[in-house]
Structures are given as C-alpha cells and as structure tokens.
Amino acid sequence: MYNSAFIFYETGVECCEWQGVGCDRRNGHVVKLDLRSPISFIDRYTLNTSNRLEGKISPSLLNLKHLRYLDLSMNNFSGQSIPEFFGSFKYLEYLNLSYSGFSGVVPPHLGNLSRLQYLDLNQYEYLLSGYRVLPYDVSLMVKDDLRWVSLLSSLKHLDLSGITTGNHIDWFHPVNMLPSLLTLNLAHCNINIPSIKFINFTSLNSLDLSSNGINSTIPVWLLNLTGLVHLDLHNNSFHGRIPDSFGTLSSLSSIDLFSNQFNISMPDLFWNLSSLVSLDLSHNGFQGSVPADLKLCNLSVLNLSDNKFAGDLSCFIGNMSDCLRNSLKQLNLGKNQFNGGIPNKIGEFKKLDGRLILNSNRLSGKIPPSLGGLSSLREMDLSINQLNGSIPESIGQLSMLGYIDFSGNQLSGSIPESIGQLSMLENLYLRNNSLVGVVSEIHFTKLNNLTYLSLSDNSLLTFNASPHWIPPFQLKYFVASSCNIGPNFPNWLQTQTDQLQVLALSNSSIRDRIPEWFENITFHITYLDLSDNQIGGKLPRFHGSGF
C-alpha cells in the first residue's frame, strides 16, 4: 500500500508513534491500524487519490499477529478483491472496509474471525450516485450463502449495506445465530423478509432494511425487538395494517417508513412512543387526522409529507404541547389535505432550525408575522396553497433562511424590502401570485448567496433597478415571465456571466434590441425564453449547451 500521506514514516522512528498505529503498552505489539482516509463525503466518488491508500495489499500485513483493530475505509483499492488472508487475524475485533473501492465476492474466510465484534463492508453510497465515474468496479456480492456470518459469535455491529446478496440467499438464519448483535444494516441488499416468528438477536437496537424493494407486511419477529432504538424501513413496499403491538417498542428513538405503501388510517400507536426523536412517515398513503394534543416531548423531526392527512392545521399546530414546541426542529406536513390557516403560535416553535414545509395543502388566510420569530429556520415552503394578504415584513428577521417558496398562492401587496437582509438566502420563489409594486436593488442588498430567483406570473410586479447597479449575486436561474421587466433589457443582467443556466423573460414588456453584451451571459445557458416581447436586432452567438 502506498500514499504520499504516509511518507513521513521514517526509518528509526518507533512505529508505535506513527499516525494511525496503536500498540499494546505492556508488550509493544501493534494492535491497531487506523488508516481511514480523511477525505470528504463528496471526494469519495472522485478520482482524486490524494490522502487515500491505493495499490495491492501485501500479505506481509499478517506479520501483525496481534492486530485487534483494522480500518481501511474511504480508500482507493481500485476494484481489487478483499484479501482472503484478512480471515487469518485471529485476534481481530474491529474491521472496517467500507467505501474503499473493493469489488468481487466477499470472502467467506472472514468467518474465521471468531473474536470480531464490528464488521463494516458498507458500499451503499456508491450505489446511489457517483461510483459510475470510477474506471473500475466497486460492487461487492455474496456468492453462495452467508453461513460464514453465523460463525462470528461475538459480533455486535454488522453492516453489509449495498452488497448484492440476492433474495435467493438466506440471510436471516445466519444473523439469527448472533445473540450479541446490536446493529444490523442491510440496506440495498436485494433481500426478502422471512415469515418467522421467533428470533435470537433480541438485543438489537438498530435495524436498517431500507431500499430492498421488500413487499410484505410488518414482520411479526420485528415486534420482539423490544430494545430497538432505530428502525429504518424506507423505500420498500411494506403495506397492510401496522400491529398494535408495534406500540410496545417504547425505546424507539427514530422511525423511517418513507416511501412504502401504507394506505391505511393513521394508527394512534405512533403518538404513544414517548422516546421518539425522529418520525418519518412520508410518501405513503396514510390518511385521517393527527391528534391535536401531541405530547411527544423528545420529538425533533416530524415528516408526514405526501400522504392524505387532513384536518385544521391551526388546531393541530395550535394545540401542540409546550414541550413539543420546545423540541421540534423540523416540521414537514407538505402534500397533504390540511386546511385552515397558519396559526400565530407557529412563532413559538423557537427550536425550528431546519425545515418548515407546509406546501401543497388547502391552507388559507394570511402568513402570520409571528413567523419572524423563527430566527434559526433554514427552509420555508408554503407554496401551492390559498394563502392571501401580504408577505410580512418580519420575514427579514429570519437571518439563517436559505430557501423560501411562496409560489402558487394568492399573495398580494408588495415584496417587503426586509427580504434583502437575508444574507444566507439562496433560493427565492414567489411566482404565480398577485404581488404588486416595484422590486429594486434594495430588495437584494445583502443577498450575496442568491442563486435561484423566480418572480414569474405576477403581472403587476415591476423590476426597476438602477442602470448602474451591480448585484451582489450570481444567478443560475432567473425566471420573471409575465412581470414588468422592460422596456429595456436590464443592464444588471450583463453581470450574470458565471453560471446562468435558465433565463425566462417571456411576456415581460421588453421593447428593445438585443444588447451586445447578451452573448456574454450565454456560456452556461441551457434554457432561454424571451418570447412575447418586442425584441429586435441581431441574434448573438449562443454558447450554452442548450443551443
């Protein structure tokens, strides 16, 4: 193995002092090799090999006969197989080979590691996106069976996520022979759920079976995991009734059932799980109402989006317990059938520092000024409702806000100038309302990070900036169709040369010749719409990939 990050290992220097090497103080034996790469989450998908181990793994590693801890994760072994001799480290307790570019068959020789407590071969993130840019295969698979797993009698943590196991392979019985198992991650392994009632791994506190396409009801054996803290079943086809005994899993801290097929009335049992910190039931067919007096005092994340929940939102939010108002950090009720208005009490959710998503419901009334009290909020989406009135001036107090979407409502009045104080704002969508008045440079005073701006379909909205104005931002997306942009092309557009990809100014009262500078803003353009204006002059050369 070689990497420039390790050339500081000098001759004559005691190896126990090397970075990543740990020794037993009593006898000097090397017992730990922590060679995990420090690369970022994004860099794991690139060809950048700096700070990564690469090359062939030498069997001379076996000279470290007393090794108990081996971490080679996040490195770049270029599609080579996991060495079979790894199964010969008879004292090994910890083995992490996740995201290191291994491929091929997982060697059953790992079953010889009778003292192993932690095994992580996770490849899941490779499957999600970036591994396709690599010039070598990084897929791992189980060829015949998983019987070797049953030999790891001391195992507490097992992560085989992203490894092709196949629904023909029996994973359950080998795992069921591991009574000490605490964590089991089998995401995206193409496995099935057996119809077995009794299990031995009852000490399990974390179970991830997500993204397997499992078409089943909730298995009976899952209800025996009374110490379960984390349960992730998202992106499967679980369906049918959720047993009442599910409510006895009182230790559950997080539940993720996103993207399944539960087309049923919402069972009350979820609301009695007092230890819940995160609950994601989104993208199902749950229906009915949500209790108006939720007392889940530890709940931090609540995602009920894309279901058929109904009821008066003001009643639901307004009657939440004080402790819940003081614990909730993210609330997503989007794409449901809630009606009523947004209550003033929403401003009392001071801990909201992530998302407030209420889009695509049947909400009416005004946007309460109390929203200005959510000073830590980062994303707010109230789009596609029937909200009316003006955007409150207090929105300028949301100093951490990076995303605003008020599109598709009946909002009127002018856009408050205070919005220009939101220095973290990247996305601003106000399209398809009845906004009026003038949008000037004051509205963008501190919007250095603004990247997406949509004002379209506000026919009484006029964009009027000084011809000498230089915006503080560089846009990727600017849509202002059916607004009043003209009569001239706005001069400030000529500054948008870095990344502009979408420009839509149709029906925007422009009566002008295409300016000479227009060619300079087309280098990244993929979509351009200037229709329904009165534009003359010579067409410039377009440089964008869309032309």
Specify if 153 maps to a domain: yes
Q: Among residues 43, 209, 210, 3, which one has the least CA distance to residue 131?
A: 43
Q: Which token pair is 103?
A: 């491929």
Q: Residue 151: what are its φ and ψ, rounded to 5°?
A: -80, -10
* Alpha-carbon span 155 to 204, nearest angstrom: 11
Residue 6 has a pLDDT of 43
Please provide the DSSP assignment of 299-340 as one string: --EEE--SSEEEEEHHHHHHTS-HHHHTT--EEE--SSEEEE
The region that residue 517 occupies, defined by phi over 0 for left and psi between -120 and 50 for alpha, beta otherwise, is alpha
Specify if 200 maps to a domain: no
Burial of 11 (0-12, 13-18, 19+ CB in 10 A): exposed
Show the domain range for 543: 412-547
Specify if 264 maps to a domain: no
> Do 203 and 180 contact (CB within 8 A), yes or no?
yes
* Alpha-carbon span 28 to 14, nearest angstrom: 10
> Do 289 and 318 contact (CB within 8 A), yes or no?
no
Domain boundary among 133, 165, 191: 191
* Alpha-carbon span 183 to 201, nearest angstrom: 10
Domain boundary among 175, 191, 207: 191
Q: What is the CATH number of the domain that holds 480?
A: 3.80.10
Specify if 527 maps to a domain: yes
Specify if 508 maps to a domain: yes
Residue 368 has a pLDDT of 98
Residue 96 has a pLDDT of 98
CA distances, 394 to each of 410, 415, 417, 422 (Å): 19, 12, 10, 11
> Do 55 and 34 contact (CB within 8 A), yes or no?
no
Residue 198 has a pLDDT of 80
Helix (H, G, I), strand (E, B) or coil at 162: coil
Residue 7 has a pLDDT of 38
What are 331's strand-pairing partners?
A: 302, 356
* Alpha-carbon span 215 to 198, nearest angstrom: 20
* Alpha-carbon span 171 to 135, nearest angstrom: 31
Domains held by the chain: number: 2
Domain boundary among 137, 157, 191: 191
Residue 451 has a pLDDT of 99
Q: What is the CATH number of the domain that holds 129?
A: 3.80.10.10
Specify if 295 maps to a domain: no
Mean pLDDT by 10 residues, the chain (547 residues): 44 73 90 85 51 83 95 90 96 96 94 98 73 64 91 97 85 93 96 84 95 94 94 97 91 98 90 95 94 87 97 92 94 98 95 97 98 97 99 98 99 98 99 98 98 98 94 98 96 96 97 94 94 91 65
Residue 136 has a pLDDT of 62
Specify if 106 maps to a domain: yes
* Alpha-carbon span 34 to 39, nearest angstrom: 14
**Residue 41 neighbours by CB under 8 Å, 6+ apart:** none
